[in-house]
Amino acid sequence: MLGLAIYLNSFLPFPTWVFWALFLAPDIGMLGYMVNPKVGAITYNLFHHKGIAIACYLAGYFLVVHELTLVGVILLGHSSFDRILGYGLKFSDSFQHTHIGMIGKNAQS
């Protein structure tokens, strides 16, 4: 899906560097953890949910709003890259508890 996001980005009327410059922007969702783990999980998952990414892309595509389409492509690419690294959507108890399993020091081999 990361490859798909890169491919879809090639059809947008923006320079390629814009995609890469904004690639890590969805991690802004981690700021919610400064409040508490529940808020952190909500904000993190909002920026890392592939369904939201696809909805943004399709809305931008059909409404011909290239900026929204770019947001969808970036969200899809970033969340797919996170899944490659083993980071999943978060549960509200801790940052390390994901839908893929535990990450970090609490993960079991």
57 CB burial (10 A radius; 0-12, 13-18, 19+): buried
Say if CB 109 and CB 96 are below 8 A apart: no
pTM, 2 dp: 0.89
How far apart CA 106 and CA 97 sit, in angstroms, is 9
Tell me if 100 is assigned to some domain.
no
Per-residue pLDDT of the chain (109 residues; tens, 9 = 90+): 999 999 999 999 999 999 999 999 999 999 999 999 999 999 999 999 999 999 999 999 999 999 999 999 999 999 999 999 988 889 888 878 888 777 777 666 5
pLDDT recorded at residue 46: 96
Q: What is the pLDDT of residue 70?
A: 98
In a domain? residue 48 = yes
Q: Report if residue 26 sits inside a domain.
A: yes
Task: Give SS3 for 62.
Answer: helix
Flag whether 99 is in a domain: no
What local confidence, expressed as pLDDT, does residue 98 receive? 82
Q: Are strands 94-98 and 90-91 parallel, antiparallel or unpaired?
A: antiparallel
Domain count, the chain: 1
Residue 72 lies in a domain: no
Measure the CA–CA gap between 65 and 29, rounded to whole angstroms.
23
Query: What is the domain extent for residue 47?
Result: 17-63
Could you tell me which of 39, 50, 35 has the C-alpha nearest to residue 87?
A: 50
Residue 109 resides in a domain: no
